[in-house]
Homo-oligomer: A and B are copies of this chain.
Amino acid sequence: MTELTLSIANTIIAAAFEKGAEAKIKPLTIAVLDAGGHLKAFQKQDGASLLRYEIAAGKAYGALAVGMGSLWLDQTARERPHFVEGLNAVSGGRIVPVPGGVLVRDQAGKLLAAVGVTGDTSDNDELVAVAGIEAAGLRHQVE
């Protein structure tokens, strides 16, 4: 049975940065949280702005909160904003409900972690997160 290790988390971040470099996108910030919502690994590229840790972790935490990728939160926030506002309230203000927070599962579907990426457009952030997860041989869930 797969567990989230630091080695896996670092592999995800490195591969995501590589994907970002290929796509020539803006400085990226990436947080990997374990399945309990606790930070496992984090890196912020040079030039990224002040609150990028909070944004990256907020995407990943939101995904874990509901068991869906943060794309789902983005869609739900448009349709039922009061649900997402309430969710954020009871989380203690820890959720950023836009794409870029992606769940990480092993090949059997077990939840291992969530990756949060911020820095470019939300769609590019998500793409980079997915690339990192695939490079680690794991499955992603974006919504």
Which 9 pairs, one residue from A and one from B, show the smallest C-beta to C-beta distance? Answer: A36-B36, A49-B67, A77-B82, A89-B93, A86-B96, A51-B65, A54-B90, A42-B42, A39-B53
> What would 15 more interface pairs be, CB under 8 Å, given A89-B95, A89-B96, A90-B96?
A6-B44, A6-B45, A35-B50, A36-B50, A38-B44, A39-B44, A41-B43, A48-B67, A58-B89, A58-B90, A62-B86, A74-B82, A87-B96, A90-B93, A90-B95
- Measured CB to CB, the nearest residue on chain B to A47 is B67
Q: Is the Cβ of B58 less than 8 Å from the Cβ of A86? A: yes
15 residue pairs from A and B, CB less than 8 Å apart: A6-B45, A10-B43, A36-B36, A36-B50, A37-B38, A38-B52, A39-B42, A48-B67, A50-B64, A50-B67, A51-B90, A78-B82, A86-B97, A89-B95, A90-B96
A73 closest partner in B (C-beta): B82
| Bound complex: CA A17 to CA B37 (Å) | 23
Q: How far is the CB of A4 from chain B (nearest CB, A)?
A: 9
Residues B65 and A50 in contact, CB atoms below 8 Å apart: yes
Q: A62: which B residues are within 8 A, CB to CB?
A: 86
Contact A89 B94 (CB under 8 A): yes
